[in-house]
């Protein structure tokens, strides 16, 4: 069986996985703390939009001018 100290790539891989987990946990904690301290954002009330539809008959002067 191999000596664990001679398998440097295994230790490097374990170190990289540990550092990635540590960075992820740290980022999650920072994001959670910043979200907790930030005042709540007021939502904007929606205003009703008025739409106007203009119907054009085939007998109208605008339609006959265009065609």
Residues 31-53: tens digit of each pLDDT: 988 876 666 666 666 666 777 77
- Please give the Cα distance from 53 to 26 (Å, whole number): 56
Cα 37 to its chain centre, rounded Å, is: 21
Question: In the chain, pLDDT over 90 holds for what percent of residues?
Answer: 28
Residues 6+ apart with CB under 8 A from 62: 56
pLDDT of 35 reads: 79
Residues 63 and 56 sit within 8 Å (Cβ to Cβ): yes
pLDDT of 24 reads: 95
> Quick check: 54 pLDDT over 60?
yes
Residues 51 and 57 sit within 8 Å (Cβ to Cβ): no
pLDDT of 53 reads: 73
Residues 49 and 55 sit within 8 Å (Cβ to Cβ): no
């Amino acid at each position: 069986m191999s000596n664990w100290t001679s398998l440097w790539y295994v230790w490097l891989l374990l170190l990289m996985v540990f550092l990635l987990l540590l960075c992820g946990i740290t980022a999650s904690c920072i994001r959670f703390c910043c979200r907790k301290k930030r005042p709540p954002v007021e939502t904007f009330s929606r205003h009703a939009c008025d739409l106007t539809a203009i119907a054009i008959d085939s007998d109208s002067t605008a339609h006959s001018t265009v065609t």
